[in-house]
C-alpha cells in the first residue's frame, strides 16, 4: 500500500488486488484477461476495462512492468521492491488511517 501511496495513487481494492495477482505470478508476465480472471475468482468486483486501465496506470507509475509485446504475448510483471502484503479488503480502512 505504501508503494501505491508513494506513487501518488490511492490504494483502492482494485489496485491492491491487481498488485497481489501480479505479485503472486512472480516473474511470469500476466495478460490483462488473466489478471481479470484471477480477480473474478477471488470475488473482487472489477470490470475488464478497469483492469486494463489500472494495469497501464500502475506500469506508468513504475509499480509494474509491461513486457512490450502485443496481443496474446502481452503481459505485466511486478517491478523490484517490497511485496504488497495487505489484503484488498483492508484497503479502505487503512487508507482512512493515513
20 band by pLDDT with thresholds 50, 70 and 90? very high
How much is the pLDDT for 98?
34
User: For residue 71, what pLDDT is reported?
Assistant: 67
CA trace torsion 61, 56, 89, 5 (10° rounding): 10
Query: Residue 35: its pLDDT value, please?
Result: 94
Query: What is this structure's pTM?
Result: 0.74
Q: Average pLDDT over the chain, rounded to whole? A: 79
Amino acid at each position: 500500500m505504501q508503494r501505491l501511496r508513494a506513487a501518488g495513487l490511492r490504494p483502492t481494492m482494485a489496485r491492491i488486488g491487481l498488485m497481489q495477482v501480479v505479485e503472486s505470478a512472480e516473474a511470469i508476465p500476466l495478460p490483462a484477461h488473466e489478471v481479470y480472471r484471477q480477480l473474478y475468482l477471488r470475488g473482487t468486483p472489477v470490470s475488464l476495462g478497469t483492469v486494463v486501465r489500472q494495469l497501464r496506470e500502475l506500469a506508468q507509475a513504475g509499480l509494474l512492468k509491461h513486457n512490450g509485446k502485443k496481443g496474446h504475448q502481452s503481459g505485466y510483471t511486478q517491478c523490484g521492491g517490497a511485496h504488497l502484503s495487505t489484503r484488498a479488503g483492508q484497503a479502505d480502512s487503512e487508507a482512512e488511517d493515513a
